[in-house]
Amino acid sequence: MNPGAPYLSRFLSLLAAWILLLMPPGVQALPGVHIGFQPAWEGRYLSGKATEVEVRILSGTGGPFQLILHSSAGEVFYQGTLEANKPYTAWLPLLPNPDEPVIATLFLDDKEIARRKIWFSPGSKPLTVLVQPVSRSPSPSTVSVPAQRLPRTIDGYRSVGSLTLSMDSLVQLDREQLEALRNYVGDCGNLWLAASSRVLSNQLKAIAGCGGTRIKILGQHHVAYTAPASASLPVPLASPTDHVLKPLMVLMFLYLLSLLLVASTRNKAGAMIAVPLLGTAGLLAFWLWQGNPAKLSIWAEMGSGSHSIRYRALLQIEGLGIENQRQVRLSRRLGIPDAKGNPPIITIEAHQPDMASLVVPVRPFSRPEYHFRGSFSAPFRLRLDLNADGPKVVNLGSLRTPAGFFTWKKHFFRVPALAPGQDWRPSPDTAVESAGPWAAKITERSGNSGTALVLPLSLPDTKLVPPDSGLDTVDGWLLIRPSADST
Amino acid sequence: MIPLRLAAFTGFCYTAPMTLWILPLLGEADSWEQAEAVLQQAGHAMLLLQGLAVMLLSPLFPVRGSPRQATLAVVLTIAVPWPLLALTWLVQSFALAPLLLSQLALVTAGVLFLNIARLPLLRPFRSTLVPVLQILALVLLLKLHFLGFTDWLRG
The 10s digit of each residue's pLDDT in A183-196 is 998 888 888 888 66
The 10s digit of each residue's pLDDT in A150-171 is 999 999 999 999 998 888 888 8
Say how far apart CA B84 and CA B90 lie, in whole Å: 10
CB of A120 within 8 A of CB of A96?
yes
Residue of B nearest to A264 (CA): B5
Q: Which member of B2, B15, B68 has the closest CB to residue A256? A: B15
Q: Which member of B26, B69, B80 has the closest CB to residue A365? A: B26
Does the distance separating the beta carbons of B23 and A249 come in below 8 Å? yes
Does the distance separating the beta carbons of B82 and A276 come in below 8 Å? yes
Does the distance separating the beta carbons of B16 and A273 come in below 8 Å? no
Report the pLDDT averaged over residues A227-233.
54
State the pairing for strand pair A355-361/A345-349: antiparallel
Does the distance separating the beta carbons of A248 and B92 come in below 8 Å? no
Whole-model pTM: value is 0.77
In A22-156 the beta strands, taken as DSSP E runs, fall at 33-39, 44-46, 51-59, 63-71, 74-82, 88-94, 102-108, 111-118, 121-123, 127-131, 142-145
The 10s digit of each residue's pLDDT in A6-26 is 555 555 555 554 554 444 443
- With an 8 Å Cβ cutoff, is A271 touching chain B? no
Q: Which member of A242, A262, A280 has the closest CB to residue B86? A: A280
Of A341, A351, A298, A295, nearest to A74 (Cα)? A341
DSSP 3-state of A130:
strand
- With an 8 Å Cβ cutoff, is B1 touching chain A? no
- With an 8 Å Cβ cutoff, is A272 touching chain B? yes
A14-28, A102-116, A122-136, A219-233: segment of lowest average pLDDT:
A14-28
The amino acid at A72: S
Tell whether ipTM is more than 0.90.
no
Say how far apart CA A273 and CA A270 lie, in whole Å: 5
Say how far apart CA A178 and CA A472 lie, in whole Å: 33
Does the distance separating the beta carbons of A364 and B32 come in below 8 Å? yes
Where chain B has pLDDT below 50, the residues are none
Does the distance separating the beta carbons of A367 and B90 come in below 8 Å? no
Q: What is the pLDDT of residue A224?
A: 46
Report the pLDDT averaged over residues A125-151.
83
Does the distance separating the beta carbons of B9 and A263 come in below 8 Å? yes
- With an 8 Å Cβ cutoff, is A265 touching chain B? no
Question: What's the pLDDT band for A223 if we cut at 50, 70, 90?
Answer: very low
Res A436 pLDDT > 90? no
**Average pLDDT score over chain A:** 82
Say how far apart CA B141 and CA B133 lie, in whole Å: 12
Give me the sign of the Cα torsion angle A223, A224, A226, A231. positive
CA-atom Rg of chain B in angstroms = 16
- Most B CBs within 10 Å, among A243, A249, A259, to test the B interface: A259
- With an 8 Å Cβ cutoff, is B106 touching chain A? no
Q: What is the pLDDT of residue A382?
A: 87
Query: Count of CB atoms within 10 A of residue A360's CB?
Result: 23
Res A76 pLDDT > 60? yes
DSSP 3-state of A191:
strand
The residues that bridge with A297 in the sheet, in sequence order, are A314, A475
Report the pLDDT averaged over residues A85-95.
93
Question: What's the pLDDT band for A410 if we cut at 50, 70, 90?
Answer: confident
Q: Which A-chain residues 298-327 have CB contacts (< 8 A) with chain B?
A: 319, 322
State the pairing for strand pair A160-166/A127-131: parallel
Q: Which member of B31, B68, B75 has the closest CB to residue A341? A: B31
CB of B103 within 8 A of CB of B35?
no
Residue of B nearest to A316 (CA): B30
Does the distance separating the beta carbons of A252 and B27 come in below 8 Å? no
